[in-house]
Amino acid sequence: IAANFFGPQKNTYIRVSLPAVCFVWQIAMVVLFGVFIRYDEESDEKGWNEYKKSHNITSNIENDFYFRYPSFQDVHVMIFVGFGFLMTFLKRYSFGGVGFNFLIAAFGLQWALLMQGWFHALDPVTGKITIGIESLINADFCCAGSLIAYGALLGKVSPVQLMVVTLFGVTLFAVEEYIILDLLHCRDAGGSMVIHTFGGYYGLAISWVLYRPNLNLSKRLNGSVYHSDLFAMIGALFLWMFWPSFNSAITNHGAGQHRTVINTYLALASCVLTTFAISSMGQKKGKLDMVHIQNATLAAGVAMGTAAEFMITPYGSIIVGFCCGIISTFGYLYVTPFLEKKLKLQDTCGIHNLHAVPGMLGGFVGAIVAATATEEIYGKEGLIETFGLTGKYVNRTMSTQGGYQAAGTCVAIAFGLVGGVCVGFILRFPIWGDPADDFCFDDEAYWELPEDEETIPPVLEYNNHMINKHHDTHESQFSLEES
From 125-133, 169-177, 197-205, 397-405, span contacting its own copies (CB under 8 A): 125-133
From 40-48, 119-127, 149-157, 339-347, span contacting its own copies (CB under 8 A): 40-48
Give the number of C-alpha atoms closer than 13 A to the C-alpha of residue 193, restricted to the C-beta side: 31
- What letter does residue 131 receive in the DSSP assignment? E
Site track for its own copies across 160-199, x = CB under 8 A: ----------------------------------------
Contact status: 261 vs its own copies (CB under 8 A): yes
Round to whole Å and give the CA distance between 41 and 55. 12
Read out DSSP for 324-360? HHHHHHHIIIIIHHHHHHHS----TT-HIIIIIHHHH
CB 193 → its own copies: shortest distance, Å? 22
Site track for its own copies across 11-30, x = CB under 8 A: --xxxx-xx--xx-xxx-xx
Round to whole Å and give the CA distance between 322 and 324. 6
Q: Which of 126, 213, 219, 288 binds its own copies (CB under 8 A)?
A: 288
Round to whole Å and give the CA distance between 8 and 325. 43
Strands (E), 126-187: 129-131
Round to whole Å and give the CA distance between 223 and 92. 9
- CA-derived radius of gyration, the chain: 25
Please report, as residue ranges, which positions from 134 to 163 form the binding site for its own copies (by CB under 8 A).
136, 159
Residues pairing with 325 in the sheet: none
From 95-103, 175-183, 208-216, 342-350, span contacting its own copies (CB under 8 A): 95-103
Q: Which of 319, 410, 421, 422 binds its own copies (CB under 8 A)?
A: 319
Helix H, strand E, coil C: the string for 95-113 is HHHHHHHHHHHHHHHHHHH
Angle 226-227-230 (CA atoms, 0-180°, nearest 5)? 100
Q: Which of 7, 44, 178, 396 binds its own copies (CB under 8 A)?
A: 44
Residue in 93, 155, 171 with CA at minimum distance from that of residue 426? 171
Contact status: 410 vs its own copies (CB under 8 A): no
Between 190 and 256, name the residue whose CB sits nearer to its own copies. Answer: 256
User: Is the CA virtual torsion 117, 135, 197, 315 positive or negative?
Assistant: negative
Between 42 and 340, name the residue whose CB sits nearer to its own copies. Answer: 42
Please report, as residue ranges, which positions from 324 to 363 form the binding site for its own copies (by CB under 8 A).
none
Between 380 and 392, name the residue whose CB sits nearer to its own copies. Answer: 380
Between 143 and 356, name the residue whose CB sits nearer to its own copies. Answer: 143
Contact status: 69 vs its own copies (CB under 8 A): yes
Contact status: 258 vs its own copies (CB under 8 A): yes
Contact status: 102 vs its own copies (CB under 8 A): yes
Between 393 and 417, name the residue whose CB sits nearer to its own copies. Answer: 393
Please report, as residue ranges, which positions from 418 to 477 form the binding site for its own copies (by CB under 8 A).
438-439, 444, 446-453, 455-459, 462-463, 466, 469-473
Q: Are 388 and 394 in contact (CB under 8 A)?
A: no
CB 349 → its own copies: shortest distance, Å? 16
Residue type, 372: T
From 148-156, 200-208, 226-234, 388-396, span contacting its own copies (CB under 8 A): 226-234
Residue in 393, 395, 399, 396 with CA at minimum distance from that of residue 371? 399
The DSSP H or E segment spanning 37 is strand 37-39
For 127, the 3-state DSSP assignment is: coil
CB 468 → its own copies: shortest distance, Å? 10
Q: Which of 266, 357, 365, 423 binds its own copies (CB under 8 A)?
A: 266
CB 191 → its own copies: shortest distance, Å? 19
Contact status: 280 vs its own copies (CB under 8 A): yes
CB 239 → its own copies: shortest distance, Å? 11
Please report, as residue ranges, which positions from 360 to 389 form the binding site for its own copies (by CB under 8 A).
377-379, 381-383, 385-386
First to last CA, the chain: 40
Round to whole Å and give the CA distance between 411 and 188. 13
Contact status: 481 vs its own copies (CB under 8 A): no
Q: Which of 7, 120, 178, 223 binds its own copies (CB under 8 A)?
A: 223
